[in-house]
Amino acid sequence: MAEITSLHAAIGSLLHDGDTVAMEGFTHLIPFAAGHEAIRQGRKNLTLIRMTPDVIYDQMIGAGCAKKLIFSWGGNPGVGSLHRLRDAVEKDWPQQMEIQEHGHGDLSNAYVAGAANLPFAVLRAYAGSELPNYNKNIRFIECPFTGEKLAAVPAIRPDVTVIHAQKADRKGNVLLWGILGVQKEAVLAAKRAIVTVEEIVEVLDAPPNACVLPSWTLAAVCHVPGGARPSYAHGYYDRDNRFYQAWDEISRDRESFSQWIKKHILETADFAEFQKVLKENAKEQLV
């Protein structure tokens, strides 16, 4: 059964230095509040997994939380590069970071294999691509029935998966909808799962076939309204694109980045303070 608790307590007790962690979301429901809390608590040596690492992983990488990144597309969606990710890969700042890169089909299959408790995923891809030359976790196998050569990748089994969702009930059952990416698979593949939610309600009222994660698949549920900002939560709020654009400028420079992290994460009590800044300021003042 999930414990309904504060985000501070959940990250404190469930996410440890050195863990392999997936904070998933495909541009929707990005768990920004949880990422900020990991930075605030000074997590180190994490292996970060995500299909589409974006601004929150850029912040965690720049803040020195990550020793390795497993991913398939790393960018500031709709804006451009992730400057902290690039600085880590190109110039080892703030520390050397190993990368292991895949394609989306491959990484999403690897989560499915993790959720299914299988050792690896199989797919038809990568013939002719150079990616397998640089990622020893992409290999080829022969189909035992037809002899066809297929790609294989090891299952993903994070120590911790963190996602953001729209609703939970008082028992900790979680409902999410809209663009769901690999959130369900990432939760079911993980040893421990933390979900932050927009609201806690008496009854979920979920229609059949809705994406519900039962309380007993989760370790913690945390009530963090706005916890996906500046990304969006379908039915609750839109993406704050001003911040994605502002981030391009903030993150270009090590000094302005470090100042920003200090001011808006390290010296704040919780995510509500950053949300207040987002709400009350014009784009120019976000920098």
Partner 1 sequence: MSGANYTTTEMMTVAASRLLKNGAVCFVGIGLPSTAANLARLTHAPDIVLIYESGPIGAKPEVLPLSIGDGDLAERADTVVSTPEIFRYWLQGGRVDVGFLGAAQIDKFANINTTVIGNYKKPATRLPGAGGAPEIASCAKEVVLVLKQSPRAFVQKLDFLTSVGYLDGGEARKKLGLPGKGPVAVVTDLCIMKPDETTKELTVVQLHPGVTREQVQKATGWEIKFAMNVKETPAPTETELRVLRDLLQRTAVAHGQAPAA
Q: CB–CB of 101/72 below 8 Å? A: yes
Length of the chain counted residue by residue: 287
Among 16, 45, 131, 268, binds partner 1 (CB under 8 A): 131
Taking the complex as a whole, how short is the minimal distance between the CB of residue 16 and partner 1, in angstroms? 28
Q: CB–CB of 244/237 below 8 Å? A: no
User: Is residue 172 part of the contact set for partner 1 (CB under 8 A)?
Assistant: no
User: Is residue 28 part of the contact set for partner 1 (CB under 8 A)?
Assistant: yes
Burial code (b: 16+ CB inside 10 Å, e: under 16) for 3-32 equals bbbebeebbeebbbeebbbbbbbbebbbbb
Among 6, 13, 77, 159, binds partner 1 (CB under 8 A): 77
User: Is residue 130 part of the contact set for partner 1 (CB under 8 A)?
Assistant: yes
Cα–Cα dist 117/86, whole Å: 34
**Residue closer to partner 1 (CB basis): 184 or 229:** 184
Among 32, 232, 247, 257, binds partner 1 (CB under 8 A): 232
Backbone angles phi, psi at 167, to 5 degrees: -140, 150
* Part in contact with partner 1 (CB under 8 A); list of ranges 8-16, 76-84, 194-202, 255-263: 76-84
Taking the complex as a whole, how short is the minimal distance between the CB of residue 192 and partner 1, in angstroms? 21
Among 111, 243, 260, 271, binds partner 1 (CB under 8 A): 111
Taking the complex as a whole, how short is the minimal distance between the CB of residue 65 and partner 1, in angstroms? 19
* Part in contact with partner 1 (CB under 8 A); list of ranges 39-47, 119-127, 200-208, 255-263: 119-127
Among 20, 47, 59, 72, binds partner 1 (CB under 8 A): 72
- At residue 209, the 3 state secondary structure works out as coil
In the chain, DSSP assigns E strands to: 3-4, 20-23, 46-50, 66-71, 98-101, 120-123, 139-142, 149-154, 160-169, 174-176, 192-201, 211-213, 220-223
Taking the complex as a whole, how short is the minimal distance between the CB of residue 48 and partner 1, in angstroms? 14
> What is the DSSP pairing of strand 211-213 with strand 20-23?
unpaired
* Part in contact with partner 1 (CB under 8 A); list of ranges 1-9, 180-188, 192-200, 262-270: 180-188
Residue 128 CB-density burial (10 A; 0-12 exposed, 13-18 middle, 19+ buried): exposed
Q: How many residues bind partner 1 (CB under 8 A)?
A: 54
User: Is residue 74 part of the contact set for partner 1 (CB under 8 A)?
Assistant: yes
Give me 12's structure tokens: 């404190």
Give me 156's structure tokens: 């993903």
Give me 137's structure tokens: 């976790």
Taking the complex as a whole, how short is the minimal distance between the CB of residue 78 and partner 1, in angstroms? 4
Contacting residues toward partner 1, per CB under 8 A? 26-28, 51-52, 71-75, 77-78, 81-82, 85-86, 89-90, 101-106, 108-109, 111-112, 123-131, 134, 148-149, 178-182, 184-185, 232, 234, 238-239, 241-242, 244
